Amino acid sequence: MIEIERKFLVKDNSFKSAAFNQNRIAQGYLNSDPERTVRIRIKGNQGYITIKGISNETGMSRFEWEKEIPFDEAKSLLLLCEKGVIDKTRFEVKIGNHTYEVDEFYGENKGLIIAEIELQSETETFEKPHWLGQEVTNDKLYYNSNLSMNPYTKWQ
């Protein structure tokens, strides 16, 4: 139940032509405390509840527990979430032995595109496509829970 992932900014939209899947996602936070975030997500026609623990010092690893829940329940729970429900499209792009999840944000986070890759260990090697930009793994500004409260378009 430990998630190991790295996050990167994305330089351009060329990843879209390589995507084998995409889904619109709405997600909100019942609790955005970094020590125990509780997220509600609607991805396509499915609902999920996810609990994440605090990240380790590298920002790569943290506890994650997720369960699928009925769509109608997720929709109702989104109404209880803290201000700032996130709207994004997730593109899945296979590069080598890994799948990048590339999120293109809308609304108050429009203009932001982040790629995430899940790994088996913090030292695992992986291919970096040309569209991958600066690593932001340990930058809390780019955590979705922060983007819901402190949106990208307000950073200027």
pLDDT at 34 over 90: no
Query: Which CATH superfamily does the domain covering 2-154 fall into?
Result: Hypothetical Protein Pfu-838710-001 (2.40.320.10)
Q: How far apart are CA 24 and CA 33, in angstroms?
A: 25
Ordered by start, the domain boundaries in the chain are 2-154
To which H or E segment does residue 64 belong?
Answer: strand 61-69
- Out of 29, 142, 143, 152, the active site residue is 29
- Give the rounded percent of residues in the chain with a pLDDT score beyond 70: 100
| pLDDT single digits (tens) 88-123 | 999 999 999 999 999 999 999 999 999 999 999 999
Residue 156: which pLDDT band, with cuts at 50, 70 and 90?
Answer: confident
> Does the active-site annotation cover 143?
no
Buried b (16+ CB within 10 A) or exposed e, 27-66: bbbeebeeeebbbbbbbeeebbbbbbbebeeebbbbebee
